[in-house]
Amino acid sequence: MTFSFNIKDIQNKRHDLINKLNYVTDDQEKKDIMISLRNYYYMLMFSDSFLRKVLYNFQNRKYKNFDCEKTQNDTNYLQYLVEIAEICRHGHLDSYYKELDRKEITLDETIKLTKEFFEFLGDDEYCTYVDKILNPNNHLLHIRKKQILCDRLHGLAINDFINRNSYCVMQEKNTLWDMKTLCHELIHAIEFQFNKKINASIHTNCFGYKEVPAFFIEQIIKEFIFSTKYYFRFKNDIEQLLKNRTISIKEDSIDIMHEIFMTVAEKRSKENRTDFILPEMRSVTYDIKDFYESGDIEAIMEEKLWEKLQFVGSYVISRTMANIYKEDKLKGLKLLKKIMSVLSPSEMHKVLLEYDITEDSLISTSKQIYPEYGEYQKIR
């Protein structure tokens, strides 16, 4: 079974979008076209190694000025996200990041496992769309042995915001990682298909928080493995994969707090201010409102940093949602669908409040995921 994009079809769609760009006047539609064009270039890169470097350099230069503007967020939301990152940064983990080394899963098995997982979820709409993407004749999935863009990027969901098409890319590793990656990217594709209001601006501005459904799905894969015939074969593998995610979020949190700390320290040292002591990183969290008002908070709004902050917050939300699912499967799936229908972090938090998930309860969840060393000793 071979999964690959249809190069000719991609090129035709790209040419159609370029032609359409010549007479479009609406600013949002222009952004949708430009981001879609960029995504089609990515697909060509993944499909043809010869074109990869040339196209990557070209598209970055050509579309650099068409990235969507960042949304403005209130102080309280930033305070909450940074507090979560601070908890995750300090938390103790008795594990380390580890690649799976048992290369025993064929591509056919990965496809079979993925279909069975979505059947396990029990939503007919999900299953219908999954079957569509996993049909090699539709050329909506591209599987490659080579690295996609970086070491820890094993999959990608790519959208055409004009024709409303979704595509998935996956690096095949022949481990359970493949199934986890494929399920993660498929839920992104499903969300895009079911939420017709998502445009390029919304997708770009809120990229990090849009990981909530995918992180949730990763947690539920464990429930699937533990309740089926695959328990003895994959128990250790799925537990390691989930540990890897927890560790990567902690690493993101360390990067976030370090970047905020260094930016603020540099700014205040240039101003010859003495109210900021270099070793005291915790000040960044507790004085976040002061930083916002003084302009220091702009450090958080850097694109990469803002994205990482939302990633961390999304992971904690997904863990809380998974706990609801374990207690009541139907309630958990209903919450998932509602989360997939929102268009902003503020809308998402309104939905969470309907399920009694407050910022305080999410902070509490983060402390359970990343306990302080003393609390960790008590747990053990």
Residue labelled with tokens 């007919």: 124
Q: What is the pLDDT of residues 113-148, one digit of tens each?
A: 999 999 999 889 999 999 999 999 999 999 987 766
Residue 150 or residue 189, greater confidence: 189
3-class DSSP state of 229: coil
For residue 113, what are the CA distances in angstroms to 2, 236, 241? 17, 16, 16
Residue showing tokens 């979020």: 249
Indicate if the pLDDT at residue 72 is higher than 50: no
- Ranges of each domain in the chain: 7-66, 75-379
Look over the chain and give the mean of its residue pLDDT values, rounded to a whole number.
79
Higher pLDDT among residues 39 and 293, named by residue: 39
Q: Using DSSP, how many helices (H) and how many strands (E) does the chain show?
A: 17, 3
For residue range 143-163, list pLDDT tens digits in order.
Answer: 987 766 555 667 888 888 888
What is the model's pLDDT at position 213? 94
Instruction: Report the C-alpha gap between 173 and 171 in whole angstroms.
Output: 6
Residue 158, strand partner residues: 167
What is the C-alpha R_g of the chain? Answer: 21
90-103: per-residue pLDDT in tens?
887 777 778 787 77
Contact assessment for residue 48 and residue 67, using Cβ atoms and an 8 Å cutoff: no
DSSP secondary structure letter of residue 72: P
Unique residue bearing structure tokens 């009694």: 356
pLDDT at 198: 75
Instruction: Report yes or no on whether pTM surpasses 0.95.
Output: no
- What's the confidence (pLDDT) of residue 128? 94
The CATH classification of domain 75-379, taken from the options 3.40.50.720, 3.40.50.2000, 3.40.190.10, 1.10.1370.30: 1.10.1370.30
**Amino acid making up residue 355:** Y
**Cα–Cα dist 346/202, whole Å:** 13
Write the pLDDT tens digit of every residue in 240-272.
999 999 998 998 888 888 777 777 667 667 666
The pLDDT value recorded for residue 73 is 52
pLDDT at 27: 86
- Asked if pLDDT for residue 24 goes beyond 90, the answer is no
Place of tokens 């101003």: 271
